[in-house]
A and B are shown apart, each in its own frame.
Chain A
């Protein structure tokens, strides 16, 4: 047959097409940075004039004091501390006060964390300590709800079923972490 003569293969060789597409794909994967939308959330206290009327006296024993100076040294409950990872357990004990220690919080509802920094404190240590403080509260909440901490943090409060677990965990214990105005020794 003359029809087939000389052009048995009319197909274009598209084998390398896949390679080209792969190159493009890999290029995209490498160049795009996936935006991270996770972090530590915090609510700032309202402006002073609103707060003045609710100027309650806080008993000394309810306060859990954390202070960091301009050289990133820690002072927790009046004692120097080098390893900030211990703060978490200290705070859990302070809030829950299982042994009714008269120096720790009266009740979990009354416990307040006062977190003070200096203007010269580095942001990294601030986040590390804040992480510990929040971790202590999430640990308490998760234990009450009876689920692992990771699961508790991932609860979606707009879903009523998950909201119920969240409320069971959080209950009436507020996450009372107060960021005090910094001192001005380190300067900037």
Chain B
């Protein structure tokens, strides 16, 4: 009798002490791989969807411009605005802004600068074309319109 009793007294639990370590490793992995956003976006960003997307080839050459209706409408009005880095700029300031951004790149890469436009889908083409004219003047002619992936279900819905 006592012989059996001894056997059952052995711990039946599965050692889970390594589980937190695994989870922490996952957590650290995520914390290291995600980049914290440097700029706070002050305009609305409902990015339109498209199918024919391409990846940006060299991320180091990309600078972002955010265009859309300001989130604080009572302060900045309801018209679409351009946000560069942390401030709102006028279309005519784009030239200067591009020059500053180009200075951050090395000499040979300056003309390869890509401007990624993150534009709210409710914005009008007027402001976009103003920006494009300025970008042409600034000789920053590579553009990227940021879009989200169009899924097939969206297509069916839009046709209805």
Contact = CB atoms under 8 A, between A and B. Distances in A.
A116 B76 CA distance: 30
B124 A122 contact: yes
A131 B51 contact: yes
Interface residues of A, number: 57
Interface residues of B, number: 59
B124 A28 contact: no
Interface stretch (A41-49, A55-63, A97-105, A106-114): A41-49
B127 A40 contact: no
A181 B137 CA distance: 14
B123 A122 contact: yes
B136 interface: yes
A188 interface: yes
A122 B122 contact: yes
A123 B143 contact: no
Nearest to B80: A188
A128 B48 contact: yes
Contacts of B59: 37
Interface in A112-166: 117-124, 126-128, 130-131, 134-135, 138, 153-154, 156-158
Contacts of B80: 188
Nearest to A123: B123
Contacts of B49: 127
Interface string B46-77: 01111111111101001000000000000000
Contacts of A186: 124, 126
Interface of B: 16-17, 19-20, 23-24, 26-27, 30-31, 34-35, 37, 47-57, 59, 62, 79-80, 114, 116, 119-129, 132-133, 135-137, 139, 141-150, 155, 159
Given A123-B124, A181-B133, 11 more contacts: A17-B19, A18-B23, A28-B31, A39-B56, A42-B145, A85-B155, A117-B129, A119-B129, A123-B122, A153-B54, A188-B127
